[in-house]
Amino acid sequence: MSQIKIIRIHNELLGTYGDQGNAEVLAYRAKFHDIATTITDISYEQPLPRDGNIYLLGGAEDAAQLLSLEALNRDRALKDAITDGAVLLAVCAGFQIIGNSFWANGRQADGLALLDVESLPGGKTRFVGEVRAHSNSLNLDLNGFENHSGKTILGPSAQALSTVSSGFGNGDSKTDGAVLGNVFGTYMHGPILARNPQFADLLLARAIGRPLSFVEDKSIPYKFFNA
């Protein structure tokens, strides 16, 4: 594959927390590996292309989250693309959308069931602040910023994306997110890929189907975020 097609889903709905920057980080990191990328924004009104290599969902408030779910339920494009091996990174509201169910605006909604997780309404206190974690399966430290009320419970066939050392993550202060194959869910904003460029490279590697060695970008003091 000479080019990676990045599909940024419903940015007008799922752009509240800055997660749209994940697309730009992927495009930026791809240049270090001589990989060409395109970023395609797909709005609520448009059908989702089936031929993307990396799909991105971001965080949102409840009403926007429900609208995004409605649009994603119009066809099987995302599920089919995932079955064919496409990568999906879903953050916060996006993570909840791709689980089995979640609560928004006081009601429970069925999600896309791409990950075996269930999100429940949280208590009065929102989960807000810095998160630090380590992903054993990806062999990566991860950090980000969280801001959510929902809690997420992992089902029997779900694997946590990371183990949390500080912050709330899925709401239990133990785990954050979930992963299944090339489908990644997390509560981390930042955007997460700006703060964790190794994770961006891992997603690019999954999309092209071969390992990529990490190339440090000396122009950006990433260590600042890990201080």
Stretch of 68-76, 77-85, 142-150, 211-219 lying at the interface with ligand GLN (CB under 6 A): 142-150
CA 172 to chain centre: 19
Q: Does 149 bind ligand GLN (CB under 6 A)?
A: yes
Dihedral sign of CA atoms 138, 142, 147, 153 in order: positive
- What gap in Å lies between CA 57 and CA 2, rounded to an integer? 24
Work out which of 17, 145, 184, 199 binds ligand GLN, going by CB under 6 A.
17
Work out which of 26, 71, 92, 193 binds ligand GLN, going by CB under 6 A.
92
Interior angle at CA 116, CA 159 and CA 12, nearest 5 = 105
Q: Does 144 bind ligand GLN (CB under 6 A)?
A: no
CB of 38 to ligand GLN, least distance (A): 26
* β-strand partners of 154: 117
Give the x/- contact pattern for ligand GLN in 93-132, rule: CB under 6 A. Answer: x---------------------------------------
HSE-CB at 110 with a 13 A cutoff on CA atoms is: 3
Which residues here bind ligand GLN, judged by CB under 6 A? 17, 59-62, 65, 92-93, 147-150
